[in-house]
């Protein structure tokens, strides 16, 4: 009887051996934690924490609670927080996005005072602030006006930079918005404010819980974002989008959602070699949570496996609602 000369199991025999030949590592410094910061009047009395039903374990936060969460992230070695605003009132233009005393602008200042070394990323989009739930200005026929939206995104970006944001993250998917934002930031001397572009953002069904969190689901109604977010069937188009954003001045790029688009992450990293991030979105998080809460899966094992898969696919960093839990699990070994 012939025995195998090469035995792959030899290097799997002990934890030490497995660690010695491990190809992919995950650390807290590669994670960013999204936070929903609620303006007074938008969630009860605006204080403390208001649970988001479709995202167990994630809350809408008051300013003080957001600072508390940021402190916890910093203590665990998490690299950054990503801020989303939940305003008390909304309008057609989404003017709350660029108000100097808007909830995100206030949160940036408060967090940078409390944790100067923690990176603060701000989402630049209008959907949290518009009364129709779309990411841009609407024309009379109901279509999103790309070029009119660019001016407003520029205003929002400048207000975030002025507040002290380390990175600006445009998530709207308007054509030309990276170039416009880079130009406006540079013109106002914010030359060191980085742009993390949501470059390959797909029109995905995985965003539902997020829209509940920021209150845009009801406003959006039966409308959709297919005319500006990417078709899930397309792969080459993602490279086209990423290439354009890098040409226009993006410092890093993002693929969103995460797990269903690992092939896109790999292609982007291989093609451009640029800092590449992935967003484990609300629907991905909610499914893992539901599976764990119902005893269908081991939540910790599956969550960490998913995060490791992003790294294996080529992501340099991961935006995830699991950032605090994952950082703690990593710390515990």
Residues 6 or more apart in contact with residue 315 via CB below 8 angstroms? 255, 265, 269, 276, 277, 278
Residues 6 or more apart in contact with residue 101 via CB below 8 angstroms? none
DSSP 49-94: EEE-TTSTT-EEE-HHHHHHHHHHHHHTT--EEEEEEE-S--BSS-
Look up 201 and say whether it is catalytic. yes
Which residue in the list 201, 269, 289, 311 is annotated as catalytic? 201
DSSP 189-217: T-TT-EEEEEEEEB--GGGHHHHHHHT-H
The CA-to-CA distance between both ends of the chain, in Å, stands at 42
Token pair belonging to 102: 């808007």
Of the candidates 192, 122, 200, the residue with the CA atom closest to the CA atom of residue 160: 122
Task: Note the residue count of the chain.
Answer: 333
Q: How, if at all, do strands 119-124 and 49-51 pair?
A: unpaired
The neighbour count for residue 124, using CB atoms within 10 Å, is 29
Cα 151 from chain centroid (whole Å): 22
Buried residues in 18-32 as b, exposed as e (16+ CB within 10 A)? eeeeeeeebebebbb
Residues 6 or more apart in contact with residue 196 via CB below 8 angstroms? 121, 167, 168, 169, 250, 251, 252, 253, 254, 277
Longest dimension (CA), the chain: 79
Which residue in the list 90, 256, 269, 289 is annotated as catalytic? 256
Look up 187 and say whether it is catalytic. no
Q: Please list the active-site residues.
A: 201, 256
């Amino acid at each position: 009887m012939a025995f195998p000369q090469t035995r792959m199991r030899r290097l799997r025999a002990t934890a030490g051996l497995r660690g010695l030949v491990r190809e992919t590592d995950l650390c807290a410094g590669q994670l960013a934690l999204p936070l929903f910061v609620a303006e007074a009047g938008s969630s009860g009395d605006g204080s403390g924490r208001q649970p988001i039903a479709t995202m167990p374990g994630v809350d809408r936060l008051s300013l003080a609670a957001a600072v508390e969460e940021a402190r916890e992230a910093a203590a665990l070695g998490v690299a950054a927080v990503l801020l989303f605003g939940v305003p008390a009132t909304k309008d057609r233009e989404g003017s709350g996005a660029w108000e100097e005393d808007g909830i995100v602008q206030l949160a940036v200042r408060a967090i940078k005072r409390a944790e100067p070394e923690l990176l603060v990323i701000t989402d630049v989009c209008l959907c949290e602030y518009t009364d129709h739930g779309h990411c841009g200005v609407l024309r009379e026929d109901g279509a999103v006006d790309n070029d009119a939206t660019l001016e407003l995104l520029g205003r929002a970006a400048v207000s975030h930079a002025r507040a002290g944001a380390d990175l600006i993250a445009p998530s709207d998917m308007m054509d030309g918005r990276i170039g416009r934002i880079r130009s406006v930031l540079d013109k106002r001397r914010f030359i060191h404010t980085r742009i993390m572009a949501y470059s390959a953002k797909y029109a995905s069904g995985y965003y539902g819980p997020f829209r509940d969190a920021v209150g845009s689901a009801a406003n959006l109604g039966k409308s959709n974002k297919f005319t500006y977010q990417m078709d899930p069937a397309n792969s080459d188009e993602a490279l086209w989008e990423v290439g354009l954003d890098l040409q226009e001045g993006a410092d890093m790029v993002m693929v969103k959602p995460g797990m269903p688009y690992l092939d896109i992450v790999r292609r982007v990293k291989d093609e451009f070699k640029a800092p590449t991030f992935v967003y484990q979105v609300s629907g991905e998080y909610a499914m893992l949570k539901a599976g764990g809460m119902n005893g269908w899966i081991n939540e910790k094992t599956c969550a960490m496996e998913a995060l490791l898969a992003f790294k294996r696919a080529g992501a340099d960093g991961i935006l995830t609602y699991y950032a605090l839990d994952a950082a703690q699990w990593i710390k515990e070994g």
